Structure 1
């Protein structure tokens, strides 16, 4: 699931996003330097200015496996990968790679008729549905005994499903009422002030002693929302979030896969999907893509980490949980079509076809491809509670071409680690900026978002930067450099994600480090023996 964490909350269950234009910290903070700028960014600008000036680079292809990307965004359109072996729109597989008209990538959630899957069940729901169909309403003792493990798992899944659905049923009307209160108050004040757009100053300037009760109440309502940092769009997103959970994610009877027309229990590589890579909602993937490689020299919007990349767009992540077959096929597609680095900002707690994904990771390794994945946003120890996909195979061996990334905040200790970030001394490798990251969103717009979904592409950008200036580096060498050059802060004491327990930062990952482009470039120069 492509999951973004929002920046404040009305309840323990949902974090709402603040106004994107009112930046909470320094613009471009993920690329700044701690010594020079006072925030624990990745020292990207310093690396360009002090170590890379005058050096030539070679274009690197980075695959963004996500929910879709706006390939026409003003800050991305010049950075989108184009399959030059394919003739656009002729309905033929010109390059014989198994995918017709795959100009900018491929959509594994699309149908041959051009339709796309937007919403999906979560894996929990799909598994529960599978076992309910298998056991029926009154299973025999013999059937249960013969399939005891699955029957017990069904009970566990049912309990979890009931809890999740009950939560959505509770909060959907709650946020719907909040949104109603907000919009009604907004209308009242716009009419009172005779304006089309409300500002904080205009609202604060209303004299409560000289207005009627409805205006006074509307003013107080909006001031309360402003105090919490909420906008109308934030609350609307909350409503849509819970309504989506009820209608799609936790609905046992929902099945959108007929749109794709595939066989979900078979891999079918090259036999399904379409070439429409933005999809119905490219918000998440567009934000991720911008962090990696938004144009650095066009005087627009933001500056991505890597300055010489082409972004291959591979759509495999819906609103709901991605299917293992789509993830496996997306990795294979990227590896087959020239991607040198793959970003994966998604995840889920169940992976029934993990072997398919493991095989794809191994295939990517055989092609020399580095995979960089978000650690997840549930403040869990993923050494205990696994977050899929994972760089640990079923046989417990670790993939050599995999980096798992936790999220760092711009705040000082003890709040320096994102409260939502997953962690793990064995299964999370390193941390990178992932809170209040300003990046591209569809329609040539920009917005702040938070999540390990943002920390992964920040790291992917550094990997692409290294590969572009030192093209001889292998996937294993890129991983070694990023991990070993990460900034170690042994005396750092922070809140354990999700609690107020003070722990050592170094206990949250295998390296105990923070990704740093300046250190990484220095190490790459030493490894490659160049000045």
Structure 2
């Protein structure tokens, strides 16, 4: 999940960062270094591309022939399989026929070019998904959503009054709800506001009584109100929260009179919070999965669902990634794909709005492996992985590792240090040991700098890769420039597919090792980078090698040289 950065207090407004593809019209007459610059190199073209052109020159010099058509599974959004520059590269399930029957007996009808895991049997497709935080809120709301705590004791609102109750029986799960789900769910925050509304009513009445006893007959002002806070008194976090909200209300209502603030805020808070929650449910609380897909998203054994509709409203992202990976080279159309012998398998699990169900993710990984994919490109990492569903993804990733499949996942553009903030999937998520086939990738630009707001981590991010202003295929036989975290993984997937084309015996773990060893080194180079300080955006200077494990940018030329050594 995109992690919500701003702290939540009452009605709790949340902010998140989301990267999207940036579309631009581009002239076909521009130099390659300004279009599909990911193919270029700094020494020849003045840009920090992946040196793909040099890699092909090297392969030609050594008279290397293409030996395989590696399958790259793009797990994410839809696909335009008829695009003029990638239709040659679209994977075809040779065991399936387009006849309305399940010819290969895998439980999926007419999965010719892949599968849409968020589609219905009637051809409908989901256009948005709930966030994982909202799904977790619904699962845990009845157990923990009604608790209020002052830091020591626990309370619930019973018959409109705050009453002390025993602490939650499962404190670990309660802390998970409070510290993980609450900050990442717009529904949980507004639902908590209902309980807080009753508390506000209670403490506003208490402040009013205390003030009138302390200053009988006086017209009370903001200065009088400030005496309600006693730093020497026993800590009462509920009182402190109400005091801060009341203090802020003086400026909101542009008054220094307590009576005005009390009239506006002293009652009705629970009603306003209930209305806010109802509005949030209408806006964020449904995704129609039950009606459209009809499966049980909490049952990993319920696998026969979805449809084969891949040309969807979100297909632009998929086709742009496919173009970077496998568009036909030197055919006069658009840009050059990195590995045009590759075949693109499309597995739709994300419509571009909301967050992927982890069941779909796990099943898509397994589908890809079982149908011959050797490289898998996942959607962005997520900071919220419920334990049971996390096991599904772990098992799928271990299955891919066992079968020699490389899995690539992009980071978010949130300026967070992944050595401190945990996002899934990552290599150390499995109890049995570190995954050797999983690559975490961040985005770099033409100048060899990290994208300002990309996540980073000296021990968590493997490498950087070209991911901004990439000229690629777009919907309807058109071409555009695009930027985004997932574009960098398309570059890495393309380079990996290039290696598998000429060195098909390399395993996913070997390819990850090769790509890390063979980067364009930026070690020792000082770069400016966005960071988070107490949840707020800022900037700082870093050495490039403090941002990722490899200390550099993916390099196809050097990777081919390394693969030649390994293959011997």
Query: What TM-score bracket applies, with the shorter chain setting the length?
Result: 0.7 to 0.9
Alignment partner of 1:73 is 2:83 = yes
Alignment partner of 1:129 is 2:163 = no
Q: Which aligned pairs between 1:47-126 and structure 2 lie closer than 5 A?
A: 47-52=55-60, 54-57=63-66, 58-88=68-98, 90-126=99-135
Asked whether the equivalents of residues 249 and 320 of structure 1 are also in contact (C-alpha less than 8 Å), the reply is no
Separation in 2 of the partners of 1:29 and 1:248?
44
Asked whether the equivalents of residues 2 and 67 of structure 1 are also in contact (C-alpha less than 8 Å), the reply is no
CA deviation after TM superposition for structure 1 residue 497, in Å: 3.0
Alignment partner of 1:345 is 2:379 = yes
Could you tell me the TM-score, scaled by structure 2's length? 0.72
| Distance of aligned partners of 1:477 and 1:449 in 2 relative to their CA distance in 1, 3 Å threshold | same
1:514 to 553, 556, 559: 553
Match of 1:184 in 2: none
| Distance of aligned partners of 1:159 and 1:487 in 2 relative to their CA distance in 1, 3 Å threshold | closer
1:38 to 28, 46, 49: 46
Separation in 2 of the partners of 1:153 and 1:2?
17
Secondary structure at the aligned position of 2:415 is classed as coil
Match of 1:182 in 2: none
Alignment partner of 1:332 is 2:366 = yes
What are the superposed Cα offsets for residues 24-64 of structure 1, whole Å, 9 maximum, x if unpaired?
97111111001111111110011112333543212111111
Separation in 2 of the partners of 1:344 and 1:436?
21
Asked whether the equivalents of residues 40 and 48 of structure 2 are also in contact (C-alpha less than 8 Å), the reply is yes
| Distance of aligned partners of 1:279 and 1:391 in 2 relative to their CA distance in 1, 3 Å threshold | farther
Separation in 1 of the partners of 2:187 and 2:530?
23
Q: Which moved more, 1:23-32 or 1:72-81?
A: 23-32
1:27 to 35, 38, 42: 35
Q: Which moved more, 1:304-313 or 1:154-163?
A: 154-163
Secondary structure at the aligned position of 1:496 is classed as strand
| Distance of aligned partners of 1:17 and 1:82 in 2 relative to their CA distance in 1, 3 Å threshold | closer
CA deviation after TM superposition for structure 1 residue 309, in Å: 0.6
| Distance of aligned partners of 1:368 and 1:77 in 2 relative to their CA distance in 1, 3 Å threshold | same
Over aligned residues, Cα RMSD in angstroms?
Answer: 2.8
Separation in 2 of the partners of 1:304 and 1:149?
49
Asked whether the equivalents of residues 316 and 322 of structure 1 are also in contact (C-alpha less than 8 Å), the reply is yes
Match of 1:429 in 2: 462
Q: Which aligned pairs between 1:354-373 and structure 2 lie closer than 5 A?
A: 354-373=390-409
| Distance of aligned partners of 1:139 and 1:74 in 2 relative to their CA distance in 1, 3 Å threshold | farther
2:356 to 322, 325, 330: 322
Structure 2 unpaired stretches of 5+: 4-14, 147-155, 159-163, 191-278, 532-537
Aligned residues: 439
Q: Which aligned pairs between 1:334-483 and structure 2 lie closer than 5 A?
A: 334-352=368-386, 353-395=389-431, 397-411=433-447, 416-483=449-516
Separation in 2 of the partners of 1:261 and 1:293?
34
Secondary structure at the aligned position of 1:62 is classed as strand
| Distance of aligned partners of 1:505 and 1:486 in 2 relative to their CA distance in 1, 3 Å threshold | same
| Distance of aligned partners of 1:86 and 1:124 in 2 relative to their CA distance in 1, 3 Å threshold | same
CA deviation after TM superposition for structure 1 residue 347, in Å: 2.8
Structure number, greater radius of gyration: 2
What are the superposed Cα offsets for residues 245-285 of structure 1, whole Å, 9 maximum, x if unpaired?
x9899613454343110001111364111111233321211
Separation in 1 of the partners of 2:519 and 2:292?
44
Structure 1 unpaired stretches of 5+: 4-10, 167-245
Q: Which aligned pairs between 1:251-330 and structure 2 lie closer than 5 A?
A: 251-268=284-301, 270-318=303-351, 319-330=353-364
Secondary structure at the aligned position of 2:344 is classed as strand
Could you tell me the TM-score, scaled by structure 1's length? 0.77
| Distance of aligned partners of 1:46 and 1:324 in 2 relative to their CA distance in 1, 3 Å threshold | same
Secondary structure at the aligned position of 1:526 is classed as helix
| Distance of aligned partners of 1:164 and 1:336 in 2 relative to their CA distance in 1, 3 Å threshold | same
Separation in 1 of the partners of 2:80 and 2:284?
29
Separation in 1 of the partners of 2:530 and 2:394?
28
